[in-house]
Amino acid sequence: MAGDTITVASWGGTYQEAQTKAFFKPTADALGITIREDTTNGLDDVRLQVTGNAVKWDITELGADECARGSKEGLFEKLDYGIIDKSGINPKLVHDDWVGISYTSVVLIYRTDVFGDKGPKTWADFWNVEKFPGRRALSGSQATETLSVAALAEGIPIDKVYPVDIDGALKSVDKIRGHVDAWWTSGAQAMQLVKDGEVDMASIWNGRAGTLKKEGAPVSFSFDQGVLTADCMVIPKGAKNKDAAMKALAMFVSPQLQANLPLYVDNGPVNEKAFETGKIPQDRIKDINSSPENVKTQVLQDAEFWRDTLVEATEKFNNLIQQ
């Protein structure tokens, strides 16, 4: 065990740097193992490694809907919840072969130099082009997120969004699409659109929104009607250091290490016990998307719902926004 080397793949960038400090380094120190890091592009990479019998990674991060799909395809090893303590983690993110690791939120951001503090606060406001004239951007690459906010825009309460009425949500998208000036395909692009004033309001990931605010851009956002999206971690089927990986993964989701994450990045911890460790300063907690207060105002994306509907919904969505 001690002296082993495992390879962990994540998304790279500042997010992975934060994970290194919050999870990887403390785990390596505690277990006496070496953690090598790599970056992933998502489920395709795992599929390629597993189906090609060339598994390089022992643990890899994925979006929750990818985990759900990969699980269905049988790409992952079973997790041992004798080793991994799942208490404190939302049961929807605890599965036989995948477990949640962090949260991202899709939030509504608007420019205060255009709207002052009277900007659109809800997705219904965002859809109200008479009351809130201005240029708009939504995610074009993440159909699940845009369909979720489209359902919210129709006035569906946050606890009734799932299961999403896809046709209803598409009709909602159809109402707004003529007023959408850009369908963004990456977080950086969403940020740039808002930052440069190319659009006055947008859906955006909370990490990007936080960065904009820190940089002093005239923007405002809240977690009200946010869409919480979880990332998860898996052990690819055929991983070479499965046992060490299991112990490392147990460390990653433990409250102590989970509490480290928001100290470095805006992605919230997936284990709610992290907020009881006392590691996170009180004034920081309200800014964290997965804090007990903020979770109440947001919709949690249902990974298993999208596992079965993603392809059809995405094709229809693509069809719609291209018209």
Partner 1 sequence: MSAQSAFHESAGTNLNAQSLRADARRESLRLLALLAPSLFLVFAITIVPIGWLFWLSLFDEAGAFSAANYARFFEQASYIKTFVTTFKVAFIVTGACVLLGYPLAYMLSQLTRRAASICLIFVILPFWTSVLVRTYAWLVILQRKGLINSWLIDLGVISQPLSLANNLSGVVIGMTHILLPFLVLPLYASMKTIDTDCLRAGMNLGAGPAATFRQIFFPLSLPGLASGVVIVFVLCLGFFVTPALMGGGKVIMWAMRMEQTTSLYSNWGAGAALGVVLLVVTLALLGLFQWLLGARATGVWSSR
**Is residue 49 at the binding interface for partner 1, with CB under 8 A as the rule?**
no
Half-sphere exposure at residue 181, Cβ-oriented, CA atoms within 13 angstroms: 14
Shortest distance (Å) from residue 53 CB to partner 1: 16
- Minimum CB distance to partner 1 smaller for 293 or for 312: 312
- Minimum CB distance to partner 1 smaller for 62 or for 280: 62
Q: Is 157 exposed, middle or buried (0-12, 13-18, 19+ CB in 10 A)?
A: exposed
Tell me which residues in 55-94 interact with partner 1 (CB under 8 A): 69, 73
Q: Are 105 and 230 in contact (CB under 8 A)?
A: no
As given in the structure block, the two tokens for residue 131 are 């009351």
Half-sphere exposure at residue 257, Cβ-oriented, CA atoms within 13 angstroms: 23
**Is residue 322 at the binding interface for partner 1, with CB under 8 A as the rule?**
yes
- Minimum CB distance to partner 1 smaller for 33 or for 199: 199
Tell me which residues in 114-153 interact with partner 1 (CB under 8 A): 135, 137, 140-141
What phi and psi, each to the nearest 5 degrees, are found at residue 146? -70, -35
User: What end-to-end distance do the CA atoms of the chain give, in Å?
Assistant: 56
Shortest distance (Å) from residue 198 CB to partner 1: 5
Single out the residue of 110, 105, 107, 133 nearest to residue 197, CA to CA.
110
Q: Contacts with partner 1: how many residues (CB under 8 A)?
A: 31
Tell me which residues in 196-255 interact with partner 1 (CB under 8 A): 196-198
Contact pattern from residue 149 through residue 188 relative to partner 1, giving x for each residue in contact according to CB under 8 A and a dash for the rest: --------------------------------xxxxxx--
Axis crossing angle, helix 166-176 with helix 303-321, rounded to the nearest 10: 40
**Is residue 53 at the binding interface for partner 1, with CB under 8 A as the rule?**
no
Q: Are 239 and 58 in contact (CB under 8 A)?
A: yes
- Minimum CB distance to partner 1 smaller for 5 or for 318: 318
Binding site for partner 1 (CB under 8 A): 42-44, 47, 69, 73, 135, 137, 140-141, 181-186, 189, 192-193, 196-198, 310-311, 314-315, 318-319, 321-323
